[in-house]
Structure formats: structure tokens, C-alpha cells
Amino acid sequence: MSTIKSTTKDPIKLLSDESIFSTSNQVLGVRGNFSEGYGTHYKTIRGTYINGIFGEYEYCYGEKGYAFPDKGQIIVNLPDPQTVYVKVDDERIDLDHAQLKNVERTFDTKKGISKRVVTYETNKGYRFRIEETRLASLKYKEVFLLDYKVISENYAGALTVYSTLDAGVTNLQNDDDPRMSDVKEKLFDVTSISSDTKNITIQTKKTNFIVHVTMDHDKQMNYQLIDEMIVGSKNIRIEKGESFQFKKYVVYTSSKYHKELLSENDQVMSVIKEIDLYQIQKEMIKKAHIHDAITVYDEEINNIIHYNLYQLYTSGGSDEYSNIAAKGLSGEGYEGHYFWDTDIYMFLFFLLNNKDIAKNLLMYRYHTLNEAIIRARELGHKRGAKYPWRTIDGKEVSPYYPAGTAQYHINSAIAHSFIQYYHVTNDEEFIVTKGFQVLYETAIIYLEIGHFYQGQFHIHNVTGPDEYTAVVDNNYYTNKMAQHHMRFVIDFYQKHKKELKDLVDETVISEMIEASEKIVLPFDEGLKINAQDDRFLSKKRLDMTQIKKPMLLHYHPLSIYRAQVCKQADVVLAHYLLDDEPFDIMKNSVDYYEAITTHDSSLSKCVYSIMYSRTGNKEKAYSYFEEQLRMDIDNTLSNTHHGLHVANLGGTYLTVVSGFLGLRTNNVLSVRPYLPTAWPGYKVQLNYRDANIQFNITDTLEITTDQAIELSIYGKKETIDGTKQFHLQ
């Protein structure tokens, strides 16, 4: 079994379950709504999305500054394929006309399907059970399948089944949460609609994407148009205990991914109706090695880990021209934008388990480098590139610069993913021909924003990962990552001068050498910790038991900025990623910053888990692991209805692999594993420099490789060829 389950009828939990039971395939995502809807009883967020299909809207500033973005971008909610419902005695079976007796929902990650079984009892006492299975095809990225079955438990007579494709949809509107858009206008026009061909064509209003959607069924139906909705219906007669079942196929082709929309749409539809989509889905999942990446010898934990990794895998990365949104394809939180989340929190899973997707994610950054160069010029920099904090197409769309544009550290997050790729794959050709240009241009920006003062290199007026401390001088994380970034550029260039001589200015390399050697890395001698920035430790501390969370919804930014409080891991994140400070400093830092961190960001708890593993507090490491593991399942941040926290899904992989296994990828693959006391054992499989490696941790450490490979085990280099056992330390 690799399933998660829900039996809730609670309206708030039903709303978050729409995200949890969403189905996606890296390109197409459909939220897990009740197909029959909730009537007028409960709030719902119906959503269907294609990765990279976005609309634009004008920003309205109270006071606009120079080089502030003019336009916002938002993933478009596309024509809705989900609605199927039944009418009996002209009454629709939903919460307006019947009682919901029970709900059973499952998500099976080995089959790649979500399933819903619900029982309704009408006002006249008729009981019906609805069984519904959904699939977003991993092979045919255009395809959504809804397999519907209605069973009469005590009714005999006529009923009508309706199935619709509805273009009368808009994006979610939200006035209260700054993490959500409040776009009032519809983002697309319906350019054609036909009940004869059962298709709808739409065009986004300002971005001019074209999407063609076709619906069909494996049973004959009668079709009609009602406004912007195609309605298929079928009248049947049913006896007690009998059922009626049909499959609904919906195909989405778009100008982003297809050249001939109409013909390709029809071709896909003709193919999928003749094949076993369920069997193909299982085969695709097996090839993806999602379940092999981590195996925990505890069924409940294992199921949730596999769910998290499945949703991470299906959130994006299918091509070189799109990335992975903060909410994947499960909702409209953060408007479908791509952040640094991918590069820091998701990338390692793909790198060690599916290098093709990892390379796609890097190529997206490569293809959008020119936009980053343009943005650097807009910001007044004469050279270098500045990647956007929030984007879909590569343009900066973050309107609040203190927690957006000021986060220059995104350059080093992107660099970190290229550097990790190089260490894990040893693919020098890719770095020489593609990656180095990104690494070089993004490193130059630190020379632009930094300066020398009294013999040291300072970087002023930036925001680090902690967005509750904005526009500061010498943020430790930013400076430390910039140093690492520049040093890699220097070393790689010196190794490949011949191939890179036309790209590189030697004087720039000289500048980087001096800057990286003399960069300020704040340190407090009394506390023996790395200070978050020049002034952070001088700010007032708050009573953390009295604050309201999340703070950004309850306090003016200035009130937060004046306090010694962290939204998320900042210094501690640098210690995880680079792991090059003395042990006692890392231990002191994680203890100090934990006490003042709210974890209002979903990016935080996995990092604390990893660093408590690293510094020896296994109890806290596991406690943080449990919290981040169940963040969406238990809706612990109370906003899962906006979409899954995809970086946190990646955090599940990091807490196990970087935390419990202690894996690092700098120069040589190193591990320092231990066994959490709550587990009988666990297994991690990965690919490193074309070697398939399995780590099996029980009362001993057993490592198996399919070719000779050098690893560092607890700080000692070992060559493994076959199977070798070690004592756990």
C-alpha cells in the first residue's frame, strides 16, 4: 500500500482536501473538488491549471518607485472539466438536496490516482453511492480522466447523469491574504465553443496563450450549450443495487506546448480512448523511481513520504521553458509564481533521482538569463544579472521590493543548483557550454552591490531568507553564499580558461578573488554564533508566546523589522547548505535562532530538522521532521486550501536524506547516517555519477553500489564496489 486517506465531512478540511487530492502530471493540474460540488453549503476553490499558462494584470501602487514592476502575472484557471452530477426526480444530488452520509478519499501513489467514495441520502430517503477515480496522465500530459460510477442502494427508477466542460470560470479572488491575488477580471476570452465537437478554445487576454479543450465520454450522451458550458447528459433507468459507470476524457492542448492545437487534441483523444490509461500510469510511476528514493520501515510514515514525493514529482519540470511553482499545480497561492524554492528545496530530489528533470530546471534558468540581465540594468547595475524573486516567464513581478527584489541571494540559490549538478554528475561540458554563463553573470552582481570599506568587502541593503528582517547590511547568508558562489566561478574558470576565455574578463575574476577573500561574515564573539546581519542581534527580542502567527497577517512590516524575530531559517540555512563552519558555532547558532523563529514560512522546519540532525539533537530533529512531513496532510499552516507547499514536499526528502542520512554533495558524496529511534529502519536509493547507490540503515549501515565509487562515510573516504557494511555512529 502507498496511499493516504481522508474521511472528513468538515467544510474547512474539505477545502484543504481539494489541494491534497489534486492530480497533476507536471504540465496539467486539477484540484480535487467534489465533482457534484457542495451546493450553496460550503466554500470551494475549483481550479484547473497548465504550467506556464499565465495572465497579466496591471499593478496599482499608492506610490510607485523607479523600476517597480508594472504588471503582475498569475496562473490562469482554465475551463473546468470536473463537474459530474446526478438528478433524481429533478433534484440534483448534492448538499443542497441530500445529506452527505460518509466520505472516503484515497490517493494511491503507486497507481497515480485519487479515488473518492461518497454516500448521499436524498430528502425522500433515496441512497446513492458515488465512486469516482481521477487520473492526470504522466505519459499523455494533455489528459485528465474522470471515471464515474453511481450505485443505487435503495432506489429504482429514472435518473439523469450530467457531465460538463465549463469555461465560465475565474481565478480565486481574495482580499485578505497578501499571498493571494485579487484579480477581479476574467483572464481569458472564449474564442470558440461547440457542443457538436465538444470543444472549447480560449485565449488569454493579455498574454495571448491559446488553449483548446475537448471533452468526450465512453458512453453515448446528448450534448448542448448553456452559456459558456458544454453539457453532456444521459437518461437511464436503474434498479436497486445496480450501477451506471462511464469514463470522462478531457484533453488540453496549448500554444505553449503544441504547434497544431486542434489536430493534436483530436489525435490524443483518439489514442487515449483505446488504451488502458491506468496500466500506463503504473508503468510510468515505476520508471520514475519515486517509491525507491526513500523507504521507511513504518507503513504510515512511508505512505506520507511517498505521497509528498509523488506530488513533488508531478508539480513541474517536464520541459526547459517552465519551472515549478510554489504551489505546484494544486492551487493559486502565490499566483503560480516560481521562486528560489525550486533551486534550494526541490532540486536535490530530482538531481539524485531524475537527472533529466533536474537539467530541465537548470535550463529554464539558462533560457531566462537574458531577462535577468535586463533586470540588472533596470536596477542600475552596469554588469551582471539579477534573477527575479517572483516570476513565471522570467520577468520580475514582485511588487514589494523589501521582501522581493532585495533578495539578491536568489542568484546564489540558482548558482547552488548548478554547482550541485556539477558535483553530482561531473558534467563539465554542460557547465562549460551553459551553466558557467549563468554562474558568471549572477556572481558579478555581488561586485556591483558590494563595496570595500576599511579593507573588507561589504554588501549593504539586501534581504536574506528571513523576510521578517528586510533591507539589511551584511546578511550572513547572502554573503556566505556569495562567497561560495564566487569561489566556484574562480576555480572553474581557472580549470577551463581555454574554453571560457571569450566569455570571461580576467579583471572580473581578480575582483572576485579579492571580494571573496575579504567579504564580511558577521560573528558574535560573546554568543559564539554567526550574526544574521550587522544589526540583528542589537534589536529587541519578543515574547514568542504572545505573538500572533503568521506575523505578516497581524503586524505592520515595520513592527516586525524592528524586532529580533525570524520568519524562517536564515543563518541556519547557510550552515546546512555549506556545512563549513566549526561544529560548535553551527550548534550554538541553531539553538539561538530556533528560539526566535516563528516558522511562518513552510521552508523553515525542514532546515531545522536537518541541522538538529547535524548537531546531534536527534529528538528535535525528529520532532521537526514530523511537523514538516504532515504540514499539508494536517493543514498545520491553515492555508493548504491555497495549494500544496511544494518546497516543503521537497523538504521531506531533505530531512531524511540530508538530515538522517547526513548526505552532502560537495566535491565528494559524503554521508553520516543515524537511525531515528521511532523507526525500525529506512533505505535511500540514489544515482551519483552514474552509480546507483543504496543505503540501508537498520542496526548497521549497509551500502550497495553497481559500480566502484568513492564515498565519505563519517568523514573517512571509502571505495564501495558491491556491498559493504559499517557500524552506525
Sign, Cα dihedral of 545, 547, 549, 552: negative
Q: Which are the contacts of 683, defined by CB distance < 8 A and separation ≥ 6? A: 294, 295, 297, 694, 695, 696, 697
Residue 69 shares a structural domain with residue 195:
yes
Report whether pLDDT(265) > 90. no
Residue 90 shares a structural domain with residue 16:
yes
Report whether pLDDT(530) > 80. yes
Residue 299 shares a structural domain with residue 284:
no
Residue 202 shares a structural domain with residue 306:
no
pLDDT tens digit string along 180-212? 677 878 999 999 999 999 999 999 999 999 999
Strands (E) located in 42-110: 48-50, 54-58, 71-75, 84-88, 91-92, 98-108
Residue 534 in grid coordinates:
550587522
- 224 phi and psi angles, rounded to 5 deg: -150, 165
* Separation between Cα atoms, residue 450 and residue 438, nearest integer Å: 19
Residue 724 shares a structural domain with residue 677:
yes
Q: What percent of the chain has pLDDT over 70?
A: 99
**Inside any domain, residue 639:** yes
* Separation between Cα atoms, residue 446 and residue 459, nearest integer Å: 8
Whose cell is 557494511? That residue is 725
CB-count burial class (<10 Å; 0-12, 13-18, 19+) for 42: middle
Residue 310 shares a structural domain with residue 244:
no
Beta strands 709-713 and 670-671 are parallel
pLDDT tens digit string along 673-721? 999 999 999 999 999 999 999 999 999 999 999 999 999 999 999 999 9
Instruction: Output DSSP code: residue 462.
Output: B
Q: How much is the average pLDDT of 21-37?
A: 98
Residue 641 shares a structural domain with residue 674:
yes
Crossing angle, helix 571-578 and helix 476-495, to 10 degrees?
30
Note if 274 is an active site residue.
no
Residue 685 in grid coordinates:
536509493
If residue 429 lies in a helix (H) or strand (E), which one and from where to where?
Answer: helix 428-430
**Inside any domain, residue 565:** no
Q: What is the dihedral of CA 625, 630, 634, 637, to 10 degrees?
A: 60
pLDDT of residue 692: 98
pLDDT tens digit string along 559-605? 999 999 999 999 999 999 999 999 999 999 999 999 999 999 999 99
Asked if 400 and 327 count as a contact pair (C-beta separation under 8 A), the reply is no
What is the greatest pairwise CA distance in the chain?
89
Q: Which are the contacts of 726, defined by CB distance < 8 A and separation ≥ 6? A: 700, 701, 702, 703, 713, 714
Asked if 273 and 246 count as a contact pair (C-beta separation under 8 A), the reply is no
Asked if 557 and 470 count as a contact pair (C-beta separation under 8 A), the reply is yes
Instruction: Estimate the share of the chain in helix, then strand, then coil, as percent rounded to the nearest 5.
Output: 35, 25, 40
What band does 245 get if pLDDT is binned at 50, 70 and 90?
very high
Asked if 568 and 603 count as a contact pair (C-beta separation under 8 A), the reply is yes
SS3 162: strand
Measured CA angle at 165 (ends 161, 167), to 5 deg? 145
* Cβ atoms < 10 Å from Cβ of 77: 23
pLDDT of residue 183: 82
Residue 129 shares a structural domain with residue 20:
yes
What band does 39 get if pLDDT is binned at 50, 70 and 90?
confident
Residue type (1 letter), 160: T
**Inside any domain, residue 249:** yes
Residue 31 shares a structural domain with residue 101:
yes
pLDDT tens digit string along 129-151? 999 999 999 999 999 999 999 99
* Separation between Cα atoms, residue 354 and residue 350, nearest integer Å: 5
Instruction: List, as one string, the DSSP characters of 470-508.
Output: -SBSS-HHHHHHHHHHHHHHHHHHHHSHHHHTTT--HHH
* Separation between Cα atoms, residue 250 and residue 165, nearest integer Å: 9
Domain-ending residue, one of 221, 256, 288: 288
Question: Does a cis peptide bond (omega within 30 degrees of 0) precede residue 79?
Answer: no
Task: For the chain, give the mean pLDDT.
Answer: 96
What band does 16 get if pLDDT is binned at 50, 70 and 90?
very high
Whose cell is 566535491? That residue is 667
Residue 82 shares a structural domain with residue 211:
yes
**Inside any domain, residue 28:** yes
Residue 15 shares a structural domain with residue 109:
yes
**Inside any domain, residue 510:** no
pLDDT tens digit string along 320-375? 999 999 999 999 999 999 999 999 999 999 999 999 999 999 999 999 999 999 99
* Separation between Cα atoms, residue 548 and residue 528, nearest integer Å: 30
* Separation between Cα atoms, residue 485 and residue 599, nearest integer Å: 27
Residue 274 in grid coordinates:
483505446
pLDDT tens digit string along 211-229? 999 999 999 999 999 999 9
**Inside any domain, residue 480:** no
* Separation between Cα atoms, residue 623 and residue 722, nearest integer Å: 35
Closest by Cα among 539, 551, 603 to 577 = 603
Whose cell is 508539480? That residue is 315
**Inside any domain, residue 400:** no
Query: What is the residue range of 47's domain?
Result: 5-288
**Inside any domain, residue 538:** no
Domain-ending residue, one of 255, 288, 321: 288
* Separation between Cα atoms, residue 349 and residue 346, nearest integer Å: 6
If residue 120 lies in a helix (H) or strand (E), which one and from where to where?
Answer: strand 113-122
SS3 534: coil
pLDDT of residue 40: 87
Strands (E) located in 272-318: 294-296
Enumerate the β-bridge partners of residue 99: 121
Task: Give the CATH number for residue 299.
Answer: 2.60.420.10
Task: Give the CATH number for residue 84.
Answer: 2.70.98.40
Asked if 657 and 352 count as a contact pair (C-beta separation under 8 A), the reply is yes
Given 18, 396, 441, 467, which residue is catalytic? 467
Report whether pLDDT(512) > 60. yes
* Separation between Cα atoms, residue 574 and residue 305, nearest integer Å: 25
- Tell me how far CA of residue 683 lies from CA of 355, 480, 687, 701, in angstroms: 20, 33, 14, 10
Distance of CA 121 to the CA centre of its chain: 39
Domain-ending residue, one of 263, 288, 313: 288
pLDDT tens digit string along 444-484? 999 999 999 999 999 999 999 999 999 999 999 999 999 99
Strands (E) located in 199-257: 199-204, 210-217, 222-226, 229-238, 243-254
Q: Which are the contacts of 353, defined by CB distance < 8 A and separation ≥ 6? A: 288, 289, 290, 292, 293, 686, 687
Residue 121 shares a structural domain with residue 81:
yes
Measured CA angle at 237 (ends 235, 241), to 5 deg? 130
Q: What is the dihedral of CA 617, 623, 624, 627, to 10 degrees?
A: 180
How many structural domains does the chain have? 2
Closest by Cα among 523, 410, 537 to 456 = 523
Q: Where are the alpha helices (DSSP H) in 323-409?
A: 341, 347-353, 355-367, 369-378
If residue 708 lies in a helix (H) or strand (E), which one and from where to where?
Answer: none
* Cβ atoms < 10 Å from Cβ of 510: 11
What band does 175 get if pLDDT is binned at 50, 70 and 90?
low
* Cβ atoms < 10 Å from Cβ of 553: 12
* Cβ atoms < 10 Å from Cβ of 157: 12
